Every structure is written in structure tokens, then in C-alpha cells.
Amino acid sequence: MAYTNLSDIVGGGAGGDSGGGYDAIALQMILGNANTASVEGGWKMADRREVFDRLVFNMQGIELSQATAAAAFDDAADVAVLRANSRLREYIRQTPYLLNLASLSDELSAHLSYWDIANAFYAGDVGQVFTNSSCVSCRFSADESKVYVLSTSDDYIYEYTLNVAGDLQSGSTLTGSFDYGAIDASSPYDLWINPTGTRLYLALGLNVRQLDLGTAWDLDSAVAASVYNLSQVVRGVSLSPDESRLFVILNNDDIKSYTIGTPGTISTATADGKTLSVNETLGSSAKICRIAADGSAIFASSNSGAVIGGWPLSTAFDIETDGSPETFNTASQLSSPAGFDFNEDGSLLSIMSGSGQFYRYKTVTVEAL
């Protein structure tokens, strides 16, 4: 999405439009995030209605003069104001209007930190996608219109299409399935789908199995294509977006990485000798693996607790350049998560219960400047 200049959107709240449902329309245009024009249009409407002014100037417990608040979104002064005011940065992070504006801004976008589980906060979005007591892993399509659930009760992967893309509360329809038990009766632990929806990878017993989808994101078009045996139980699987690197959690609580000789053909994987132990952070039998799309961090979850761990990587996709682990505890909403997944840019974390209920958390922070 193209960035835009803050001053082109926010002019200080000139006032003018009145009454009606403009506030709700503006919010819908901004949060829908369909394209730059929609978001900009929503902001311009909000600005005319002085909604922006009310959001910024009525910060609970934050004393800011109108001049100071306005300067936070002015080309010349915004960096200085944000550097000096951590409470304003936090308010932006937790205010959808302002966070969406920041993500479109040349001035602020460089100071948004994604994949941040240490500061994750509940987004208040919960939805029941799949009614089953044996859900173990999940994956969302790139546009968040579909969610894929790995079930152990009947050896199937299920594809659900949300009635409204990205909205877990809008309801869903079963639109596809795949019987993985027909190709491998081993215990399943995790699944991962590439960003184009053309290949799906399964952690099944000692294997990572690859399915090719003849039609992107259509699970009914999936066929077994390739397999890589690791000689140990595989409890989590994830790949780099270009499918040149494979990351797995093994039953000894090590994350290991592999180079794939022919991206898109998992049988050509070879170990690169790199290991990251997660036992100290997550305990035994860690599960589910996710690598940040930009390779800046890798994630896993505890088997019986409510903890998701993240390890920052100073060199993209190199698990031996990990820094101090960060953790996120889901106990406030979910005592024992079954699976989790991030959206494409790492700003949103979805956590699934064993019965197919999803909870969502914001994982983006406005950094100190």
C-alpha cells in the first residue's frame, strides 16, 4: 500500500459536516483498509467531522494542549512530540483510527514495530469458526477471507470462508476439506500454507508432507506432492515466504532450519546445522512454529500452558542469531491455546482454542523515536 503524507489527510479539523452517520462511515472506511483511497477518504471525512480532534484531545489521563496534539501529526514537529511523549505513542497503538493513520504515514510508518508479542494486547475480537474438540493448528489466507483448521478427530483439514474477510464474528461457511489420513496415518501437529495459497505443508509424525493446490486457496483441489522425513516427531512447521527455508520444531524441543534446494519441493530439503532450543522458555513438548515473513523473529507455543514465545533474529531467517526471548501469556482469554497464526505484516495475532474458537491480539507498537 502506498504511503501518504500526514498533512494531506489531517488538516486540524476544520469542521463543517454535521449529523448523520458520518462517524461510523469514516471508521468503517479506515478500518476496512481495502485500499489507500478508502483509508484516506475515511480520514478526510473524520477530519471534517472533527472526530480526529476528539480522539486526540480527549485522551484519558493524558494532558496535552491542542497545539501539542496537533503537532504530533505535523510534518515538521511530529517526531519531536512522539519522542517526548511515551503515553501518546501508547495511545496511538491502542486507537484504531490513529494506528491506521500511522501505518499509512511517511512520518510514522518507519517507527511502527510489528511481530511484537511482548506488548500484544487483546483486540476484543473473538469468533467460533469450527465446532470441534480436536483442533490442533490453524492458518489464515493472505487476505484473511479463509481459515484452515487441522483436526485430529477425523484426520481432516477444513477450509472455512468467513462471511466478511478478516471478521471472525461474521460467521463462516465450510468450503473445502482434505483427508490427510488417507496419505499418512501419523499424528498431526501443525500446518502452514504459502503466501500464494498454492502449497500446504503438514507436520505429520516424522514427516513434513507437501500438498499442491491446483486452485489457489482451494483445499478441494489439493493433492499429495512431496515428503521430507526427519527421523524425529515434527511438532511444528513453517517456511520462509519464498519457500527456500524450512523451520521445524522437533520432539526434543529444538527448532531446526533447513535449506530447500528446489523451493516448492520439500523433498529437496537439507539440514543447515542450525538449532534453537526453546525448552527453557516453553518447557517440554513445544509445538506450532511460525517464522515472521521478513525473517525478523520466530515463534512457538507451549504444549500445556498459555505461553507463546518469540525469538528476535538479528539476521533474517538465521535462528542462531536469536536474541533474548519474548513471551506472551494468553491466560486472560485462553488457558491452553491449540494453534496460532499471524497476519501477513505481523500486526495481528490469532490464537485458536482446541474447540475452534479464535481470539485476536494486536502485535504492533509505536516505537520510541
Average pLDDT of span 141-147: 95
- In 3D space, the residue among 239, 314, 235 whose CA is nearest the CA of residue 282 turns out to be 235
Question: Of 119 and 84, which is predicted with more confidence?
Answer: 119
User: 289-324 burial, b for 16+ CB within 10 Å, e for fewer?
Assistant: bbbbbebbbbbbbbbeebbbbbbbbeeebbbeebee
Least confident among 14-23, 235-244, 354-363: 14-23
Q: How many CB atoms lie within 10 A of CB 218?
A: 15
pLDDT tens track for 153-185: 889 999 999 998 888 888 899 999 999 999 998
121-366: which CATH topology? Methylamine Dehydrogenase; Chain H (2.130.10)
pTM metric for this prediction: 0.78
List pLDDT tens digits, range 28-60.
665 565 565 666 666 566 555 444 444 444 444
Between 15 and 36, name the one with better pLDDT. Answer: 36
Contact, 314 vs 323, CB < 8 A? yes
Between 324 and 15, the higher pLDDT residue: 324
In the chain, what are the domain boundaries?
Answer: 6-113, 121-366
Mean pLDDT of all residues in 4-11: 40
Of 74-88, 141-155, 260-274, give the lowest mean pLDDT range.
74-88
